[in-house]
Protein backbone atom coordinates (compact mmCIF):
# COMPACT_ATOMS: atom_id res chain seq x y z
CA UNK A 1 0.00 0.00 0.00
CA UNK A 2 2.85 2.39 0.79
CA UNK A 3 4.38 1.77 -2.66
CA UNK A 4 1.01 2.33 -4.33
CA UNK A 5 0.55 5.63 -2.50
CA UNK A 6 3.98 6.77 -3.68
CA UNK A 7 3.11 6.10 -7.31
CA UNK A 8 2.03 8.98 -9.53
CA UNK A 9 -1.26 7.30 -10.44
CA UNK A 10 -2.61 6.90 -6.89
CA UNK A 11 -4.80 9.65 -5.57
CA UNK A 12 -6.38 9.74 -2.12
CA UNK A 13 -10.19 9.66 -2.40
CA UNK A 14 -11.61 13.06 -1.50
CA UNK A 15 -14.00 13.31 1.40
CA UNK A 16 -16.57 16.00 0.72
CA UNK A 17 -18.17 18.15 3.40
CA UNK A 18 -21.88 18.71 3.79
CA UNK A 19 -23.12 21.98 2.36
CA UNK A 20 -24.51 24.52 4.81
CA UNK A 21 -28.04 23.59 3.71
CA UNK A 22 -27.40 19.85 4.14
CA UNK A 23 -25.81 20.41 7.55
CA UNK A 24 -28.77 22.52 8.65
CA UNK A 25 -31.28 19.93 7.42
CA UNK A 26 -29.46 17.09 9.21
CA UNK A 27 -29.24 18.97 12.52
CA UNK A 28 -32.82 20.26 12.34
CA UNK A 29 -34.28 16.82 11.59
CA UNK A 30 -32.29 15.20 14.42
CA UNK A 31 -33.36 17.93 16.84
CA UNK A 32 -37.04 17.43 16.04
CA UNK A 33 -36.94 13.63 15.99
CA UNK A 34 -38.15 11.93 19.18
CA UNK A 35 -36.42 8.74 18.04
CA UNK A 36 -33.01 10.20 17.22
CA UNK A 37 -32.63 13.43 19.20
CA UNK A 38 -30.56 11.66 21.89
CA UNK A 39 -27.75 11.58 19.29
CA UNK A 40 -27.72 15.38 19.02
CA UNK A 41 -25.10 16.09 21.75
CA UNK A 42 -22.59 13.82 20.00
CA UNK A 43 -23.28 15.35 16.58
CA UNK A 44 -23.05 18.84 18.08
CA UNK A 45 -19.60 18.09 19.47
CA UNK A 46 -18.43 16.48 16.23
CA UNK A 47 -19.70 19.39 14.12
CA UNK A 48 -18.49 21.98 16.63
CA UNK A 49 -14.94 20.73 17.24
CA UNK A 50 -13.82 18.88 14.14
CA UNK A 51 -12.43 16.14 16.36
CA UNK A 52 -11.76 12.71 14.92
CA UNK A 53 -14.48 10.22 15.79
CA UNK A 54 -12.13 8.19 18.03
CA UNK A 55 -11.03 11.35 19.85
CA UNK A 56 -14.61 12.40 20.57
CA UNK A 57 -15.89 8.94 21.54
CA UNK A 58 -12.87 8.67 23.85
CA UNK A 59 -13.49 12.10 25.39
CA UNK A 60 -13.88 12.06 29.18
CA UNK A 61 -15.53 14.56 31.47
CA UNK A 62 -12.13 15.35 32.96
CA UNK A 63 -10.87 16.34 29.48
CA UNK A 64 -13.37 19.21 29.44
CA UNK A 65 -12.39 22.44 31.18
CA UNK A 66 -15.81 24.07 31.49
CA UNK A 67 -14.72 27.23 33.39
CA UNK A 68 -12.23 28.07 30.62
CA UNK A 69 -14.31 26.57 27.78
CA UNK A 70 -11.55 24.25 26.56
CA UNK A 71 -11.52 20.63 25.38
CA UNK A 72 -8.24 18.72 25.78
CA UNK A 73 -7.54 16.14 23.09
CA UNK A 74 -4.85 13.71 24.26
CA UNK A 75 -5.96 10.16 23.37
CA UNK A 76 -8.15 8.14 21.02
CA UNK A 77 -10.65 5.36 21.63
CA UNK A 78 -10.32 2.66 18.97
CA UNK A 79 -12.25 -0.54 18.28
CA UNK A 80 -10.42 -3.11 16.23
CA UNK A 81 -9.39 -6.72 15.93
CA UNK A 82 -5.96 -7.78 17.18
CA UNK A 83 -4.37 -10.91 15.63
CA UNK A 84 -6.85 -13.78 16.10
CA UNK A 85 -8.60 -12.25 19.09
CA UNK A 86 -12.10 -10.86 19.05
CA UNK A 87 -12.47 -7.14 18.39
CA UNK A 88 -12.25 -4.94 21.47
CA UNK A 89 -11.81 -1.36 22.58
CA UNK A 90 -8.41 0.14 23.33
CA UNK A 91 -6.86 3.53 23.99
CA UNK A 92 -4.07 4.94 21.84
CA UNK A 93 -2.14 8.17 22.17
CA UNK A 94 -1.44 10.45 19.20
CA UNK A 95 1.48 9.40 16.99
CA UNK A 96 2.56 13.00 16.48
CA UNK A 97 2.66 16.10 18.67
CA UNK A 98 0.02 17.72 16.49
CA UNK A 99 -2.53 15.19 17.74
CA UNK A 100 -2.29 16.51 21.29
CA UNK A 101 -4.11 19.84 21.29
CA UNK A 102 -6.77 22.00 22.85
CA UNK A 103 -10.01 22.98 21.13
CA UNK A 104 -11.98 25.98 22.41
CA UNK A 105 -15.62 25.18 23.20
CA UNK A 106 -18.20 26.95 21.10
CA UNK A 107 -21.21 27.99 23.19
CA UNK A 108 -23.42 25.36 21.50
CA UNK A 109 -20.85 22.64 22.25
CA UNK A 110 -20.64 23.73 25.89
CA UNK A 111 -24.43 23.76 26.17
CA UNK A 112 -24.72 20.30 24.58
CA UNK A 113 -22.15 18.83 26.98
CA UNK A 114 -23.80 20.50 29.97
CA UNK A 115 -27.21 19.12 28.96
CA UNK A 116 -25.69 15.66 28.45
CA UNK A 117 -24.18 15.73 31.93
CA UNK A 118 -27.53 16.69 33.47
CA UNK A 119 -29.27 13.91 31.53
CA UNK A 120 -26.72 11.36 32.74
CA UNK A 121 -27.35 12.36 36.34
CA UNK A 122 -30.73 10.71 35.75
CA UNK A 123 -29.87 7.88 33.33
CA UNK A 124 -26.44 6.97 34.70
CA UNK A 125 -22.89 7.63 33.56
CA UNK A 126 -20.66 5.61 31.27
CA UNK A 127 -19.44 2.57 33.19
CA UNK A 128 -16.76 1.41 30.74
CA UNK A 129 -13.10 1.18 31.72
CA UNK A 130 -10.70 0.90 28.77
CA UNK A 131 -6.97 0.51 29.41
CA UNK A 132 -7.38 2.30 32.73
CA UNK A 133 -9.39 5.19 31.21
CA UNK A 134 -12.90 5.82 32.52
CA UNK A 135 -15.48 8.56 32.77
CA UNK A 136 -16.18 8.65 29.03
CA UNK A 137 -18.80 11.21 28.01
CA UNK A 138 -20.71 9.52 25.23
CA UNK A 139 -22.41 6.21 25.90
CA UNK A 140 -24.79 3.59 24.63
CA UNK A 141 -28.14 2.84 26.23
CA UNK A 142 -26.28 0.20 28.26
CA UNK A 143 -23.94 2.88 29.67
CA UNK A 144 -20.94 1.59 27.70
CA UNK A 145 -18.62 3.24 25.18
CA UNK A 146 -19.70 3.63 21.56
CA UNK A 147 -17.93 2.41 18.43
CA UNK A 148 -17.69 4.41 15.19
CA UNK A 149 -19.77 1.69 13.50
CA UNK A 150 -22.60 2.34 15.94
CA UNK A 151 -22.49 6.07 15.19
CA UNK A 152 -22.42 5.50 11.43
CA UNK A 153 -25.39 3.16 11.68
CA UNK A 154 -27.35 5.88 13.51
CA UNK A 155 -26.40 8.42 10.84
CA UNK A 156 -27.64 6.04 8.14
CA UNK A 157 -30.99 5.66 9.93
CA UNK A 158 -31.35 9.42 10.29
CA UNK A 159 -30.52 10.05 6.62
CA UNK A 160 -33.09 7.48 5.47
CA UNK A 161 -35.79 8.87 7.80
CA UNK A 162 -35.02 12.47 6.85
CA UNK A 163 -35.04 11.72 3.11
CA UNK A 164 -38.28 9.75 3.33
CA UNK A 165 -39.94 12.74 5.01
CA UNK A 166 -38.50 15.13 2.44
CA UNK A 167 -39.80 12.99 -0.43
CA UNK A 168 -43.29 13.11 1.08
CA UNK A 169 -43.16 16.90 1.35
CA UNK A 170 -41.74 17.28 -2.15
CA UNK A 171 -44.44 15.09 -3.64
CA UNK A 172 -47.20 17.06 -1.89
CA UNK A 173 -45.63 20.36 -2.99
CA UNK A 174 -44.92 19.07 -6.53
CA UNK A 175 -41.21 19.79 -6.50
CA UNK A 176 -37.94 17.88 -6.63
CA UNK A 177 -36.84 16.59 -3.20
CA UNK A 178 -33.63 17.97 -1.67
CA UNK A 179 -32.14 14.77 -0.27
CA UNK A 180 -29.25 14.30 2.09
CA UNK A 181 -26.32 12.39 0.57
CA UNK A 182 -24.84 9.31 2.19
CA UNK A 183 -22.13 10.31 4.67
CA UNK A 184 -20.34 9.01 7.75
CA UNK A 185 -19.09 10.43 11.03
CA UNK A 186 -15.77 11.22 9.35
CA UNK A 187 -17.60 13.63 7.03
CA UNK A 188 -18.72 15.61 10.08
CA UNK A 189 -15.07 16.36 10.90
CA UNK A 190 -14.50 17.43 7.31
CA UNK A 191 -17.65 19.54 7.44
CA UNK A 192 -16.40 21.41 10.51
CA UNK A 193 -13.03 21.97 8.86
CA UNK A 194 -14.73 23.37 5.75
CA UNK A 195 -16.90 25.78 7.80
CA UNK A 196 -13.78 26.77 9.75
CA UNK A 197 -11.83 27.44 6.56
CA UNK A 198 -14.69 29.56 5.24
CA UNK A 199 -14.37 31.82 8.28
CA UNK A 200 -10.68 31.70 9.21
CA UNK A 201 -7.72 32.71 7.03
CA UNK A 202 -4.87 31.71 9.36
CA UNK A 203 -3.84 28.26 8.11
CA UNK A 204 -1.64 27.60 11.16
CA UNK A 205 -4.60 28.02 13.51
CA UNK A 206 -6.74 25.71 11.37
CA UNK A 207 -3.94 23.12 11.29
CA UNK A 208 -3.51 23.19 15.07
CA UNK A 209 -7.24 22.92 15.82
CA UNK A 210 -7.68 20.05 13.35
CA UNK A 211 -4.53 18.27 14.53
CA UNK A 212 -3.15 17.92 10.99
CA UNK A 213 0.45 16.70 11.08
CA UNK A 214 1.01 18.04 7.55
CA UNK A 215 0.09 21.61 6.56
CA UNK A 216 -0.65 20.42 3.00
CA UNK A 217 -3.71 18.57 4.33
CA UNK A 218 -4.97 21.85 5.76
CA UNK A 219 -4.15 23.73 2.55
CA UNK A 220 -6.02 21.21 0.38
CA UNK A 221 -9.20 21.58 2.44
CA UNK A 222 -8.79 25.35 2.65
CA UNK A 223 -8.41 25.69 -1.11
CA UNK A 224 -11.49 23.57 -1.79
CA UNK A 225 -13.54 25.34 0.90
CA UNK A 226 -12.72 28.84 -0.34
CA UNK A 227 -12.99 28.14 -4.08
CA UNK A 228 -16.41 29.79 -4.38
CA UNK A 229 -15.26 32.80 -2.36
CA UNK A 230 -12.31 33.25 -4.71
CA UNK A 231 -14.68 33.20 -7.68
CA UNK A 232 -16.91 35.81 -5.99
CA UNK A 233 -13.89 37.97 -5.24
CA UNK A 234 -12.76 37.93 -8.87
CA UNK A 235 -16.31 38.62 -10.08
CA UNK A 236 -16.24 41.79 -8.00
CA UNK A 237 -12.84 42.65 -9.47
CA UNK A 238 -14.09 42.44 -13.05
CA UNK A 239 -13.57 45.72 -14.89
CA UNK A 240 -11.92 47.45 -11.92
CA UNK A 241 -8.33 46.75 -12.89
CA UNK A 242 -6.81 47.88 -16.18
CA UNK A 243 -4.97 44.86 -17.53
CA UNK A 244 -4.96 45.60 -21.25
Q: pLDDT for 86-134, tens place per residue? A: 788 999 998 788 899 999 999 999 999 999 999 999 999 999 999 999 9
Candidates 92, 80, 102; CA nearest to 133 is 92
Q: How many angstroms separate the Cα of 233 from the Cα of each of 202, 226, 230?
A: 18, 10, 5
Q: Which position among 95, 118, 141, 240 bears the catalytic label?
A: 95
Residue 52 bears catalytic tag: yes
Residue 88 bears catalytic tag: no
Residue 212 bears catalytic tag: yes
Candidates 77, 52, 137, 64; CA nearest to 104 is 64
CA 74 – CA 71 distance, rounded (Å)? 10
Fold of 14-231: hpI Integrase; Chain A (1.10.443)
Residue 169 bears catalytic tag: no
- Is the whole-model pTM more than 0.85? yes
Burial class (CB in 10 A: 0-12, 13-18, 19+), 175: exposed
Q: Dump pLDDT digits (tens) for 70-86.
A: 999 999 999 986 666 77
Burial class (CB in 10 A: 0-12, 13-18, 19+), 222: buried
Residue 222 bears catalytic tag: yes
Amino acid sequence: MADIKKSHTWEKPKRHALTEQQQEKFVEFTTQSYQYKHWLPLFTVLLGTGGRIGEILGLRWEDCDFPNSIININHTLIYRKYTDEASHFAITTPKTKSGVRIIPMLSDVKAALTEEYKEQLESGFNESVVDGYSGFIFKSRDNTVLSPHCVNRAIDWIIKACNAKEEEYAKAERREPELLPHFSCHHLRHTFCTRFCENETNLKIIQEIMGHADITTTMDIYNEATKDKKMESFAGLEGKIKIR
